[in-house]
Amino acid sequence: MKKIVQVCLAFILLLAMALPLYHAEASSQFKDVTLYEKEISFLTNKGIIKGYNDGTFKPEASIKRIQAVQMILRAKGVTDFTAPDPNFTDIKKGDYGYQEVAKAVQLGIISGKEDAKTGKKYFDAWGTLTRGQMAKILSLAYNLKGSTLSEFSDVPSTDGFYTYINALAYNNVTTGYSDNTFKPYQQISRQHFAVFLARTLDSSFKDNGTNRVVTGGLKLNTRKTYVYNYPYAEYTETFKYTGTKSGMDKWTGRDSDGEVTYYAYSEDQDGYVSGWQDGDISSTIPYPLKLNTKWTDDFYEDEYPIHYVVTSMNKTVTTPAGTFKNAIEVKSDIDTLEYYVQGIGLVLMLDTSVQPAERIQELQKVY
């Protein structure tokens, strides 16, 4: 009986697994702003953004570190700049921006850089800010907390900015790029810094994921171990990554009875493919993926064509592993709903032929 259940579950599983916002705006106060006008106008009206004397904002220019500090202090309404000397080697009392830098250090927003040769601290006021540094100073300035199980593919937990980027994602300040990257070491532009700051200050600017497009991040995270529960079959299965061969990630699934199954997953610009290592059966989710995307997956060489449609890009789903935001909901014509999360993969599968819907497969733990 166990074998029959496993075959049925594998069949359904393979059928299913085969899967920066800006507002429409009013006219800007700056003659060179065409994108993110609402966010930039919001900050301008609050006196947080001042622009340049020629009436421009220079939205695509990289923001300087001193400019980011000034914007945050204005946003926080800081008017008392009394603060101890941070003893940076490159900025002293009387220099432009010194008071803001000293205050930001006192508030714990920044800590400066360290010279590798001398060990002394400096600020690098006119250096550019990276996306990872942006995540850090916003998280520290506004005490953003929270952690998601999902990871950006280019931000492992060993990265120094991981905690801060994860906090931004948890608070829906960022959803990253469509391919599930964050690009932490890429310089951030003035307009994008303004967007992140506006989202931090006012939740109406946050990207709820409805209109996003996904081009990656739906296969299992090779840095993680997964435990799936199959509720009505009453067993669990632990998935471990074992290496990559011929472009396919190889995974071993060991169930609670000790039986082993070998899975394979791959992902490229065309989509996400899942199947077994020792068989020709596979299932595909096409990229780019967005709301109302439809496709047909031919299982067993056209014998079982299944039709799919994306019915949501921003579902919140809870399993024993935790609560997942911005899950992608995929509906099939064989009465299943599947939920995928970028940076994690499949987190839940439901049988909708009965009401209330029954859980076929759910993520119990990921570590």
pLDDT at 273: 94
Q: How many CB atoms lie within 10 A of CB 120?
A: 13
| CA distances to 34, 140, 162, 197 from 193, in Å | 15, 15, 18, 6
pLDDT at 352: 97
pLDDT at 22 exceeding the cut of 50: no
Helical axes 37-45 vs 190-201, angle rounded to 10°: 70
Contact between 251 and 220 under an 8 Å Cβ cutoff? The reply is: yes
Give the residue from 259, 221, 236 showing the smallest Cα distance to 367: 221
Q: Interior CA angle at 185 toward 179 and 187, to 5°?
A: 100
pLDDT at 367: 95
pLDDT at 302: 57
pLDDT at 282: 79
pLDDT at 317 exceeding the cut of 80: yes
- Dist CA 25 CA 18 (whole Å): 38
Domain boundaries, the chain: 2-19+218-366, 37-205
Give the residue from 340, 244, 129 showing the smallest Cα distance to 104: 129
pLDDT at 232: 84
Pairing of strands 358-366, 345-351: antiparallel
- When mean pLDDT is compared across 94-98, 135-139, 278-282, 352-356, the lowest value belongs to 278-282
- Dist CA 12 CA 25 (whole Å): 45
pLDDT at 299: 66
Q: Residue 8: what are its φ and ψ, rounded to 5°?
A: -65, -45
3-state helix, strand, coil in the chain (%, to 5): 25, 30, 45
Q: Tell me: the pLDDT tens digits for 163-214?
A: 999 999 999 999 999 999 999 999 999 999 999 999 999 999 998 888 999 9
Q: Tell me: the pLDDT tens digits for 221-240?
A: 999 999 999 998 899 999 99
pLDDT at 23 exceeding the cut of 80: no
pLDDT at 279: 74
pLDDT at 16 exceeding the cut of 60: no
Arithmetic mean of pLDDT over the chain: 91
pLDDT at 28: 66
Instruction: Kindly tell me the burial class for residue 17, based on how many C-beta atoms sit within 10 Å of its own C-beta (0-12, 13-18, 19 or more).
Output: buried
Q: How many CB atoms lie within 10 A of CB 113?
A: 15
Q: What is the mean pLDDT of residues 287-298?
A: 95
pLDDT at 300: 59
